[in-house]
Amino acid sequence: MTNHPPGEIEALWIASDIRGGDLEDPRWNSATPIAITRRWSGEDAPPGHLAEARILWSAQALCIRFVCRQEEPLLVHPNPQLGKKTLGLWDRDVCEIFIAPDPKTPELYFEFEAAPTGEWVDLGIHLTPHGRETDWEFYSGMTTAALVAGEELTIMLRIPWSASIPKPQRGDAWRANLFRCVGTGNERYLAWQPTYTAEPNFHVPQAFGWLKFV
């Protein structure tokens, strides 16, 4: 990975929580759009793979909405199971956010994914010099919603505050990154903050940007 300055994005405070699955709440329009336009390598992604994210937060939860171009058939599980996390979700079409609540230890972070089917996965990660340690049993209570309309895909994740993901204060800044996987091959891996690794790899906390709570 080369040395690139971290980008900054904002999570906008809202006085009342977003209802589960409310993809059209007008408050989404007040959040600053976050463009996801590059592959993990830093190369520009094709127009059919581009995505935009917006982030809101309330006293109850962190909410992320992705709006994506979807010009090709969805790559999804034929028999989705929504009652439990779906390991291996990252091998199909998915939107993701990684967050490190303590900016002093970005190597301790959480991975959240949601698919066009509504499937989800949440994981606790500890990146060590010897490799990645994953808490497969981590449970955040996250919920998801998704809608495919023509060539547009919308996906929402709602992550409630907890002992692991504590509610921030206005002005706080966490380390974070946003991703989209779409299609097949190495071209499928998009990142808000590219990781610039030789092979596709999202697990590079040094490349995380800053998520500011405003």
pLDDT confidence tier of residue 1, bands split at 50, 70 and 90: low
The SS3 of residue 120 is strand
pLDDT confidence tier of residue 20, bands split at 50, 70 and 90: confident
Q: So what's the pLDDT on residue 19?
A: 83
- At 88-129, the pLDDT tens digits run 999 999 999 999 999 999 999 999 999 999 999 999 999 999
pLDDT confidence tier of residue 2, bands split at 50, 70 and 90: low
Looking at domain 8-213, its CATH architecture is Sandwich (2.60)
**For the chain, what are the domain ranges?**
8-213
- At 42-54, the pLDDT tens digits run 999 999 999 999 9
- Indicate if the alpha-carbon torsion angle 187, 204, 132, 139 is positive or negative: negative
- At 156-180, the pLDDT tens digits run 999 999 999 999 999 999 999 999 9
Distance of alpha carbon 197 from alpha carbon 202, whole angstroms: 9
Distance of alpha carbon 43 from alpha carbon 156, whole angstroms: 26
Q: What is the pLDDT averaged over residues 23-51?
A: 97
Q: So what's the pLDDT on residue 3?
A: 78
41: pLDDT strictly greater than 80 = yes
